[in-house]
Amino acid sequence: MAITLDGTNGVTTPDLTSGNLKFNSGYGSAATAYGCRAWVKFNGYTVAIHNSANVSSITDLGVGRYRANFTTAMVDADFAAISTNANKDGGCWDYSTTHVNVYVGQTAQDSDPISLAIFR
């Protein structure tokens, strides 16, 4: 049973049988919401975090290579990690419950800003 808080385009309370938070974004029905479990925006030159949630630190693994360490571990390593940077080239590897690695450029280069989001 869900209780609508804001009419047909509103947020609903967790389904009492499944525990899932649901919302209707105007597409005709409420669906389960999948939240961002962690995110960070940091400077790849200085390895300073601009802002973050559930990322405790960034480890410099060498030029253009970084490790984002989670404050609270993921339940498993089957999450989606999405990264972007000023050079527009890069990605993620080494998915772990405690961290994920980020690279910038096929030829390894530092960048600012670098952003990472984790969804599960």
pTM over 0.75: yes
Q: Over its length of 120 residues, how does the chain's per-residue pLDDT go in tens digits?
A: 455 555 455 555 555 667 777 777 777 788 888 889 999 999 999 999 999 999 999 999 999 999 999 999 999 999 999 999 988 889 999 999 999 999 998 888 999 999 999 998
* Separation of alpha carbons 104 and 83, rounded Å: 9
